[in-house]
Structure 1
């Protein structure tokens, strides 16, 4: 069986590093790790191809995407501009499968007091994440948009998911759990195609995360 070639954009981030840990011994996956500062990725030098580059640089991105089977993007900053660049580069290279991390609340899908609190805390950032989601959803790609709840560093992989159009549930989720969900899509890319998926820890519901 031919290895699935997976490009991780923003590979130095905390969720991405958990994904890399989950995948590093998978003999069916060939990893390429892309980050602005490749120095943070030297521990993976023997396990993956490492590229230092900028997603907003056409040449960097086009070279990295060429020949990949799946692109997983976990980025911050001008994510709407980045989403446009990624969609264009993937379309040009005929790479169809994308996993892109945004945020809870982009569709105003968080009900009640928690939704009001969430809007108060990160409302300004949600506009950019929503634009990114709209760009991806308007493309011809086979995408999974991931909308995590408020993130913790707990060493646990408990999560439940909600689909676009359903009310978002829990107030928190561990980065490791979000990574476990993303890993499940990378290893089974037929799942949650053309989907926008909320990810939260089951049973932890309330007006705001417990750590606030």
Structure 2
């Protein structure tokens, strides 16, 4: 299968690209910094392009079977448009070239609801802080989801929970919102992204990916991912 990956040079994008290549698929990795892309090998094409550049997106998308996106930015107080504007460029290019399958990563922060069994301090202290810190991101991710829903494509939106690093793929949960759990390993998210795109799972659906094994503490995720103490984006 011929896949194009936007956000390929992010932590999850690299994992998903590596997995897709290992499964024998052809991958076009789209990144603004192609010289810094760490992967190589047969089946891989690295393209330097910005998702906010419609002409560059059009060239990158042409000739593929499916489009995967892990585009993300760190927490910021400034307005964010990369999710919605970039995905609008992707959708237009896919429509132009007759490509149907789109899988993109969003966040459970877009439309957060308390799940059964979550601790009081998590619901009343940690979640409000994270949602406030990430408001510009979540607002634009919500706009992105609207763009995807209105695209007329065969789309799937994946909402991970709090991201953390792991070395192996687990028996993670894919569920309609809102499933108990606030953690998603990037390894599990990458696997889910590839499976949705390649196996055509859950078309026309918003799903959450929740890791339940080997998860860190709330404090560890908060310090690393929210406060960027040794952390990184999608």
TM-score by length of 2: 0.79
What is the 5 A alignment of 1:62-211?
62-77=58-73, 78-111=82-115, 113=123, 115-158=127-170, 159-163=172-176, 166-189=177-200, 191-202=201-212, 209-211=218-220
Measure how far apart 1:47 and its partner are: 3.5
CA shift for structure 1 position 85: 1.0
Any unmatched runs of 5+ in structure 2? 74-81, 223-234
Residue number in structure 1 paired with 2:232 = none
RMSD between superposed Cα atoms in Å: 2.2
- Contact 1:172–1:204 at 8 Å: present in 2 too? no
CA distance in 2, matches of 1:76, 1:203: 25
Going from structure 1 to structure 2, the CA distance change for 1:53 and 1:124 (only over 3 Å counts) comes to closer
Show the counterpart of 2:76.
none
Q: Determine the C-alpha separation between the residues in 1 that align with 2:214 and 2:194.
A: 23
Indicate the SS of the match to 1:24: helix
> TM-score normalised to the size of structure 1?
0.87
- Aligned-pair distance for 1:110? 4.0
Q: 1:36 to 1:45 in 2, by over 3 A?
A: farther
Q: Is 2:20 the partner of 1:23?
A: yes
Give the deviation of 1:68 after TM superposition: 0.8
For residues 112-141 of structure 1, the C-alpha deviation after alignment (integer angstroms, 9 at most, x for no partner) is 616434423423321010000011011101
Q: Deviations for 1:67-114, whole angstroms, at most 9, x for unmatched residues?
A: 111000111252111111111111111111001111112123344616
SS of match in other structure, 1:99: strand
Q: Distance in 2 between matches of 1:137 and 1:58?
A: 20
Shift of the alpha carbon at 1:9? 0.9
Write the distance in 2 (CA, Å) between the matches of 1:124 and 1:60: 26
> 1:173·1:200 contact (CA, 8 Å) conserved in 2?
yes
